[in-house]
Structures are given as C-alpha cells and as structure tokens.
A = this chain, B = another copy of it.
C-alpha cells in the first residue's frame, strides 16, 4: 500500500513535464479564462497528447487550482521585501518595484489571479481568508507603526495596500489596453522605468512619506 519511492530519473522527468504543463496551462487559462480554456488547447501548447495531461492532473479543476496556487506563492514571496524596511520610502518603494517587475515578467499569472478573484475566487477562497488575510493584517500593522512614528500621513492602511495592488497590477491585467494606447507597441524599458517611478513618487508623496 505504501507509495513506492520513484527513481531520481523518473522524478526528474515527472517534474519537468508537470512544469511544462503548468506553464502552458497558465498561459491558456490567462488568455481564455477557466471556461474558455480547453484541455486540448493546453495539450497542444505543451505539445502533448490530451490524455497525458489527465495522467498528471486528474481534472481541469485540479490543473487550474495548481496554477493559481503557484501564482499566489510567487506573490507572497515577492512581498517579503516590505519587511525589514526602515520606513515607507524604502519599504513601499521596494514593494512597488517588486510588483511592477512581476507585472512585467508574469503578466499571465497576474491576469489569472484577477480572473479568479473577479469570479468570486471559487478555487482560492480559503487562501484569501487565511494566508492573504494574515499577510494583509501584518502589513497593515507595519504601516500603522510608520504612521505612529510620524514617517507618513495617517491613512487607512488597507486602502493604501489596495492602491498599491491596483496601480501595479494594472500594467499586467490591462496591459493590452496600455499597449493599444501606446500606439500598439509594448512599453519600452524607458517607459516601464518611467511608470514605475511615477507610481512610486505619486504614492509616496501622496501619503506624505517624501
């Protein structure tokens, strides 16, 4: 009954394929939504037979769940830059930088997260209620400490966090709109830098941190 240990080679191949499938799935789910995505599309993108997907992931929901969980962990991990900061300029500035980088490097993940939340978070509701709520409470307390120390104006920390999320994720979630308004061309390095700086400056000035 005990699960037999897999050989290293087997394990490696398994992990490679799982990763390949997850990458293809992230893209397809982000582009089409859960309902619009099909296992066949994901299989084609990963260049695998559809049945092979079902060998690694029992159902479409399972696959979707794994993709969303992956994204969530990347985000949580990237948010650690805010801790250990001496004040809002350093902490919030670094957080904005990190989130803008993610928006640029992983737009599909950001879109998928937006898609999931927009539809009532059917899959990751428990994460919202536990991990994300704890994280938010902790950072809100940190911001409140900065306020008490006179390092920034008194604001509602939750709403400030929403502003950070909204402004940074916008460049991923609405990237197509931004690109269209940019003459159909993706933002250049310079434009990304400008966007990042303007978001940071505006918010940090807005909360009286600079």
Residues in B neighbouring A205, C-beta threshold 8 A: 205-208
Interface hit among A10-18, A19-27, A51-59, A160-168: A160-168
Contacts of A160 in B (CB 8 A): 198, 202
Tell me, in angstroms, the Cα distance from A81 to B192 when the chains sit together.
30
Residues of B within 8 A of A176 (CB): 117-118, 120-121
How many chain copies?
Answer: 2
Complex: chain B residue closest to A158, CB-CB: B181
Q: Smallest CB-CB separation from A173: which chain B residue? A: B118
A106 within 8 A of B: no
- Which residues of B lie under 8 Å from residue A133 when comparing CB positions? 180-181
Shortest Cβ gap from A45 to chain B (Å): 16
Interface positions, chain A 144-201, Cβ under 8 Å from B, are 155-156, 158-160, 162-163, 165-167, 169-171, 173-174, 176-178, 180-182, 184, 194-195, 198-199, 201
In the complex, A114 has a CB within 8 A of chain B: yes
CA of A158 to CA of B174, assembled, Å: 13
Residues of chain A having any CB pair with chain B under 8 Å? 30-37, 111, 114-115, 117-121, 125, 128-129, 132-133, 136, 155-156, 158-160, 162-163, 165-167, 169-171, 173-174, 176-178, 180-182, 184, 194-195, 198-199, 201-208
Query: What are the 7 tightest A-B residue pairs by CB atom distance, in nearest-first order?
Result: A35-B36, A206-B206, A202-B206, A35-B35, A166-B170, A33-B33, A166-B166
